[in-house]
Structure 1
Amino acid sequence: MLHSILPLLGLLAVPAAAQDAPVLEVYTYDSFVSDWGPGPALETAFEESCACDLRFTAAGDGAELLARLRLEGARTEADVVVGLDTSLIAMAAETGLFAQHGFEGRAWDLPIAWQDDLFVPFDWGYFAFIHDRSLETPPASFEELAESDVSILIQDPRSSTPGLGLLLWVKAAYGDGAEAIWEGLSDNIVTITKGWSEAYGLFLDGEADMVLSYTTSPAYHIIAENDDSKMAAPFEEGHYLQIEVAGAIASSDELDLAMEFLDFLTSDRAQSVLPTTNWMYPARLPEAGLPEGFETLIAPETALIFPAGELPEIRSMALDEWLTALSR
Structure 2
Amino acid sequence: MAAVLLLLITVHVQARELTIYTYSSFTTSWGPGPALKEMFEAQCDCEVNFTSSDDGVSLLNRLRLEGDTTRADVIVGLDDLLMPQARRLGIVQAHDLTLSDWPLRESLNWQDSHFIPFDYGYFAFIYDSRKVSQPATSLQALIDSDASIIYQDPRTSTPGQGLMHWMQAVYTDDAAQAWQRLAEHTVTVTKGWSEAYGMFLQGEADYVLSYSTSPAYHQLVEETDAYQATRFAEGHTAQIEVAALSAYSREPELGQAFLAFLLSKEAQALLPQTNWMLPVRSDIDLPAAFTDAEREVIGYSPDEVDAQRREWITIWRNAVSR
Amino acid at match of 2:227: K
> Alignment partner for residue 276 of structure 2, among 269, 274, 279?
279
Query: 5+ unaligned residues in a row in structure 1: which ranges?
Result: 1-14
1:320: Cα distance to partner?
1.1
**Residues 152, 196 of structure 2: 8 Å contact kept:** yes
Residues 177-217 of structure 1 deviation map (CA, whole Å, 9 limit, x = unaligned): 21121111111200001100000000000000000000000
Query: How do residues 174-323 of structure 1 correspond to structure 2 at under 5 angstroms?
Result: 174-287=171-284, 289-295=285-291, 297-300=292-295, 302-323=296-317
Amino acid at match of 1:123: D
Q: Measure, in 1, the Cα distance between the counterparts of 2:185 and 2:98.
A: 44
Q: Residue 66 of structure 1 aligns with which residue? A: 60
Amino acid at match of 2:35: A
Amino acid at match of 2:160: G
Residues 226-257 of structure 1 deviation map (CA, whole Å, 9 limit, x = unaligned): 11100001111100010000000122120000
- Match of 1:77, SS state, is coil
Amino acid at match of 2:269: S
> Percent sequence identity over matched residues?
47
Q: Residue 146 of structure 2 aligns with which residue? A: 149
**Residues 99, 111 of structure 2: 8 Å contact kept:** no
> Alignment partner for residue 132 of structure 1, among 118, 122, 128?
128
**Residues 95, 256 of structure 2: 8 Å contact kept:** yes
- Match of 1:304, SS state, is coil
**TM-score if structure 2 supplies the norm length?**
0.93
> Alignment partner for residue 55 of structure 1, among 35, 45, 49?
49
Worse overlay, 305-314 or 44-53: 305-314
**Residues 156, 195 of structure 1: 8 Å contact kept:** yes
1:111: Cα distance to partner?
3.4
**Residues 220, 289 of structure 2: 8 Å contact kept:** yes
Q: Measure, in 1, the Cα distance between the counterparts of 2:283 and 2:270.
A: 9
- Match of 1:212, SS state, is strand
**Residues 81, 303 of structure 2: 8 Å contact kept:** no
**TM-score if structure 1 supplies the norm length?**
0.91
Query: How do residues 164-183 of structure 1 correspond to structure 2 at under 5 angstroms?
Result: 164-183=161-180
Worse overlay, 220-229 or 141-150: 141-150
1:17: Cα distance to partner?
3.7
Amino acid at match of 2:294: A
Q: Measure, in 2, the Cα distance between the counterparts of 1:274 and 1:285.
A: 14
Q: Residue 4 of structure 2 aligns with which residue? A: none
1:62: Cα distance to partner?
0.4
- Match of 1:239, SS state, is coil
Q: Measure, in 2, the Cα distance between the counterparts of 1:283 and 1:305.
A: 20
Asked whether 1:108 is paired with 2:104, we answer yes
Q: Residue 34 of structure 2 aligns with which residue? A: 40
Distance 1:244 1:110, change over 3 A: farther
Q: Measure, in 2, the Cα distance between the counterparts of 1:121 and 1:298.
A: 18
Query: How do residues 13-32 of structure 1 correspond to structure 2 at under 5 angstroms?
Result: 17=11, 20-32=14-26
Residues 268-289 of structure 1 deviation map (CA, whole Å, 9 limit, x = unaligned): 01000000000000111344x1
